[in-house]
Amino acid sequence: MKPLDGLLVLDFSQFLAGPFAAMRLADLGARVIKIERAEGGDLSRKLTLANLVVDGDSTVFHAMNRNKESYAANLKDPADLEKVKRLVKQADVLIESFRPGTMARLGLDYDSAKAINPRLVYGSVTGYGAEGPWKDKPGQDLLVQSLSGLPWLCGNADQPPVPFGLSVADMFTSANLVQGLLAALVRRGATGQGALVEVSLMESALDFQFEVLTTHLNDGGKLPQRSRVNSAHAYLGAPYGLYETADGHIALAMGSVVRLGELLECPELAAYQDPASWFDRRDEIKRILADHLKRKTTAEWLAKLEPADYWCAEVLDMQQLMEHDGFKALDFVQEVRRSNGAALRTTRCPIRIDGEKLYAERAAPVLGEHNAALDAELAKGVRLGR
């Protein structure tokens, strides 16, 4: 048994934060039913990365909707809405990610759902929360990143603001939602009381910056100072960054600049004895390192640094990663299949339970694939949780 076997989750959400959270609950054993628009379904079915589609749906949709069932419904149709409310009555968790007020207009906001099912744990994802001047803005990751200040932490000082190359606000929002839902389920187990769990992309993006915002709040309000050379963290000194070598790149994390100079046989670094200079003079230190590291291959530098336990790593591209024995040992790729036989390779859940890796076999559902089966279960009065 997986930890969440027996729980029923209704996933009304679209795009990334909500569906990813619902998928994680499915990975952990919950039965997840994705409630989708009868016409077109989740908009991310057509939101592609690199124009890639598998069996009619984008890999974006596939990547965050494995192990789910699809129930297509027109929530403005009284008959369909009544069927969905019957699902709500049985659900343990409901997840939605509409703009504030949308679920209320459908009669499925928290208060309405709580009246149907007092034990329900209701998860709501918004872009900026339900209050304030931003509440009606589109909750899209790049827009949230931009408002949160994150792009000023990326790139070199002579560059404009640089966004993260992943939807980090969505991903952290998803993780926060899962934590909140599981905490509410634990409380429900003790009290029988349901809960409303609210998360937003903006608050998650701010929480993501807890280290640097705490520094900013206590350093007199100084703005981030990105290094002009190989910047990897606006608040850390040399050697922190990625450096070109004779045949690739190497990452250097925190460590003594003087000790690094000794290991690399770079006598110029001996001039920086004061640790404060590793931040105050980091650009000149990094320029010295950038020139010096080009003289040998990544493997040659690693052979000097790793035996001395100096924090470093080769910089791999995706192909190199997939071919590396370290990646293969994780067994992190799985194949999932639809009922029609269409197959997709994707990542597995990163969590292990009692030493066991969590794999899935069922791919993301076809739109409305499970309507007939679920209607039949409801007609029989079957308890829908596993």
Write the CATH number for 282: 3.30.1540.10
Token pair in block for residue 321: 């990663």
Strands 352-353 and 356-357: antiparallel
- Angle formed at CA 61 by CA 56 and CA 66, multiple of 5 degrees: 105
Q: Are residues 69 and 179 in the same domain?
A: yes
Q: Are residues 152 and 184 in the same domain?
A: yes
- How far is Cα 348 from Cα 298, in angstroms, rounded to an integer? 30
Identify whether 222 is part of a domain. Answer: no
135 — pLDDT class (breaks 50, 70, 90): very high
Q: Kindly report the backbone phi and psi dihedral angles of residue 109, in degrees, each rounded to the nearest multiple of 5, phi listed first.
A: -70, 175
Q: What is the DSSP string of 318-359?
A: HHHHHHSHHHHHHT-EEEEE-TTS-EEEEEPPS-EETTEE--
pLDDT digits (tens, 9 = 90+) for 75-90: 999 999 999 999 999 9
Of 323, 348, 364, which residue constitutes the final position of a domain?
323
Q: Are residues 260 and 160 in the same domain?
A: no
Q: Are residues 53 and 124 in the same domain?
A: yes
**More confident call, 283 vs 1:** 283
Distances (CA, A) of 27 to 73, 276, 316, 362: 25, 47, 28, 11
Identify whether 233 is part of a domain. Answer: no
Identify whether 71 is part of a domain. Answer: yes
Mean pLDDT of 53-58: 97
Strands 312-314 and 333-337: unpaired
CA of residue 322 relative to chain centroid, distance: 20
Mean pLDDT of 12-25: 97
pLDDT digits (tens, 9 = 90+) for 70-125: 999 999 999 999 999 999 999 999 999 998 999 999 999 999 999 999 999 999 99
376: CB partners within 8 A, 6+ apart: none
Q: Length of the chain, please?
A: 386
Q: Are residues 296 and 348 in the same domain?
A: no
Token pair in block for residue 83: 């069927």
Identify whether 278 is part of a domain. Answer: yes
Identify whether 156 is part of a domain. Answer: yes
Q: Are residues 54 and 198 in the same domain?
A: yes
Identify whether 28 is part of a domain. Answer: yes
Q: Are residues 17 and 50 in the same domain?
A: yes
pLDDT of residue 381: 84
H-type alpha helices, the chain: 17-27, 59-63, 78-90, 102-106, 110-116, 141-148, 168-191, 201-208, 210-218, 257-264, 277-280, 282-293, 298-305, 318-323, 325-330, 371-380
CATH assignment at residue 190: 3.40.50.10540
Mean pLDDT of 323-343: 97
Residues with active-site annotation: 233
Q: Are residues 202 and 251 in the same domain?
A: no
* Domain count for the chain: 2
User: Nearest to residue 140, comparing CAs of 306, 14, 319?
Assistant: 14
pLDDT of residue 295: 98
384 — pLDDT class (breaks 50, 70, 90): confident
Q: Are residues 193 and 290 in the same domain?
A: no
Radius of gyration of the chain (CA): 25
Identify whether 186 is part of a domain. Answer: yes
User: Nearest to residue 36, comparing CAs of 96, 82, 107, 90?
Assistant: 96
Q: Are residues 272 and 346 in the same domain?
A: no
Give yes or no for a contact between 260 and 310, defined as CB atoms under 8 angstroms apart: yes
pLDDT digits (tens, 9 = 90+) for 216-263: 999 999 999 999 999 999 999 999 999 999 999 999 999 999 999 999
Mean pLDDT of 280-309: 98
pLDDT of residue 386 exceeding 70: no
CA of residue 293 relative to chain centroid, distance: 34
Q: Are residues 49 and 114 in the same domain?
A: yes
Mean pLDDT of 332-336: 97
Identify whether 343 is part of a domain. Answer: yes
6 — pLDDT class (breaks 50, 70, 90): very high
pLDDT digits (tens, 9 = 90+) for 183-211: 999 999 999 999 999 999 999 999 999 99
Q: Are residues 39 and 158 in the same domain?
A: yes
28: CB partners within 8 A, 6+ apart: 2, 3, 4, 349, 351, 353, 358
pLDDT of residue 385: 76
Of 276, 306, 323, which residue constitutes the final position of a domain?
323
pLDDT of residue 315: 98
Of 306, 323, 340, which residue constitutes the final position of a domain?
323
pLDDT of residue 178 exceeding 80: yes
Q: Residue 284: which domain range?
A: 241-323
